[in-house]
Structure 1
Amino acid sequence: MSSDRALSLLSRAPIFQNAREDDLLPLAALGHFSSLSRGQHLFQAGQPIESLYVVASGSVRVYRLARGGRRELTLHVEGPRQLVAGVAAFQSRAVYPAHAQALQTPTEMLALPVDAVREEVFNTPTLAQAVIGYFARRQAELLGRLDSLVFSELGERLAAYLLDHAADAPHALPTNSELAALLGTVPEIVSRKLGEFYRLGLIVLERRTVRVCDAAELARLAGSLEEGTTRKAGR
């Protein structure tokens, strides 16, 4: 049963998009599930990478500490079917480049032994093609995020974030400080903008859980961000 669940998750994970199910069977057989509570760490920066992790449910915050360890910088938040620190896992003798922490209880993870994943991917053309395509898309997403931090308004960035993370199901929000770090602003402005979206009926907020009510309007707000990115890319 666990193997069947693992196969279902891997076949829907973006990293293995368009890979054949038969090629995922050996990986699914090696996977095991575990649960984390809110605030519990999946791994710490500097630890050797022994497992490749895919989020089954819940969400995981990936962050780094500033010098002296007094400030945290949230790099990204990963939800269901997403890979956590996946790029580093394909480097030889790699260590985790950041910390990863569960944002809600429970957060369930699928762990795959990283050496076995590398061997299967390197020796299976369809898996290799899927992984290369995934990393190319991730690079484009990171460039798009950098572009948005420089050229877009906070409302556009927040709308895009909510559509990415809360369009299909309720999403456990990071703290306002963590969300501000993701969006390139300060916590007070994030709080005001979330309140504005709530009053306009675009979202429902229950404690730190958000659900999208008007995806079309959020898409319109985020659309100006996407259009601006497209125009700059075409120059």
Structure 2
Amino acid sequence: MTSEPARALSLLKNAPVFQGAQEGDLRPLAALGRFSCLSRGEHLFREGESIEALHLVSGGSVRVYRLSRGGRRELTLHVEGPRQLIAGIAAFQSRATYPAHAQALQTPTEVLALPLATVREAVFHTPALSAAVIAYFARRQAELLGWVDRLVFSELGERLAAYLLEHAAAPHQLPTNSELAALLGTVPELVSRKLGEFYRLGLIVLERRTVRVSDPAELARLASGEGV
């Protein structure tokens, strides 16, 4: 059976946030990592709580969302799957607190927690780790700007195609239509209709809430704004 530190090291080596870092720099972090499992709907953290650990998704998916001032509406900011970091930028701020809520979308969802103080110390004093983390945050900023651009200027079909392509590497557990609608800036009925259209066109395979991309080339064409 694979030991927990070995599993943690494998996850860290394959996580985009540590891409380019040396294995030797990741081993001390892996040794302190702890895995935990969440059930669908269970919260990993809530907005305003102090950040004590850096979290990486090992399996399943996690939704990060904000509530309106009255608490009646939710806005999904992003959904993170395997090997992705959750609320990473906030963790490196002084007096770090979580800027949003995070909850599991699947049962089980497995998350690796790394002690924040240890991670910060390692990143601040290890050039290879620093370079990896800075490059990752730069990529995430570019992705965020691209997503905001699509949200404001593109049609729903483009946004949904882009979302599906982002999760095309493996079968992906979709959020509920309400959650996906919040993420795409629309309403659940339109999300359901567009998913059905993509399914009928053979662009995706849908089994319950698990989706697999079967025609990435056509989805890429739609995501670029052609023929939506």
TM tier relative to shorter chain: over 0.9
Unaligned ranges ≥5, structure 2: none
> What TM-score comes out, normalization by structure 2 length?
0.95
Q: Distance in 1 between matches of 2:34 and 2:203?
A: 38
Q: Distance in 1 between matches of 2:147 and 2:219?
A: 17
Instruction: State which drifts further: 72-81 or 153-162.
Output: 153-162
For 2:10, the equivalent position in structure 1 comes to 8
Establish whether residue 222 from structure 1 lines up as the match of residue 223 from structure 2.
yes
Q: Distance in 2 between matches of 1:141 and 1:161?
A: 12
Instruction: State which drifts further: 168-177 or 101-110.
Output: 168-177
Establish whether residue 132 from structure 1 lines up as the match of residue 139 from structure 2.
no
Q: Distance in 1 between matches of 2:224 and 2:14?
A: 26
For 1:37, the equivalent position in structure 2 comes to 39
Establish whether residue 183 from structure 1 lines up as the match of residue 184 from structure 2.
yes
Once the two structures are superposed, residues 115-170 of structure 1 have per-residue CA deviations (whole angstroms, 9 ceiling, x without a partner) of 000000000000001111111111111110111112212111111100111x1222
AA matched with 2:171: P
AA matched with 2:142: A
Shift of 1:83: 0.2
Shift of 1:205: 1.6
Q: Distance in 1 between matches of 2:93 and 2:28?
A: 21
For 1:21, the equivalent position in structure 2 comes to 23
Q: Distance in 1 between matches of 2:169 and 2:120?
A: 31
User: Counterpart of 2:224 in 1: which secondary structure?
Assistant: helix
Superposition pairs of residues 60-99 of structure 1, within 5 angstroms: 60-99=62-101
Q: Distance in 2 between matches of 1:210 and 1:57?
A: 16
Q: Distance in 1 between matches of 2:183 and 2:97?
A: 23
Q: Which runs of 4+ in 1 moved over 2 A?
A: none
For 2:211, the equivalent position in structure 1 comes to 210
> What TM-score comes out, normalization by structure 1 length?
0.93
Q: Say which structure is richer in helix.
A: 1
For 2:157, the equivalent position in structure 1 comes to 155
Shift of 1:18: 0.7
Q: Distance in 2 between matches of 1:68 and 1:206?
A: 36
Q: Distance in 2 between matches of 1:6 and 1:36?
A: 17
Once the two structures are superposed, residues 99-126 of structure 1 have per-residue CA deviations (whole angstroms, 9 ceiling, x without a partner) of 0000001100000000000000000000
Shift of 1:68: 1.2
AA matched with 2:31: A
Shift of 1:30: 0.7
Q: Distance in 2 between matches of 1:33 and 1:66?
A: 31
- Which of residues 130, 134, 146 is equivalent to 2:148? 146
For 1:164, the equivalent position in structure 2 comes to 166
Shift of 1:187: 1.4
Shift of 1:223: 3.1
Aligned residues: 224
For 2:175, the equivalent position in structure 1 comes to 174
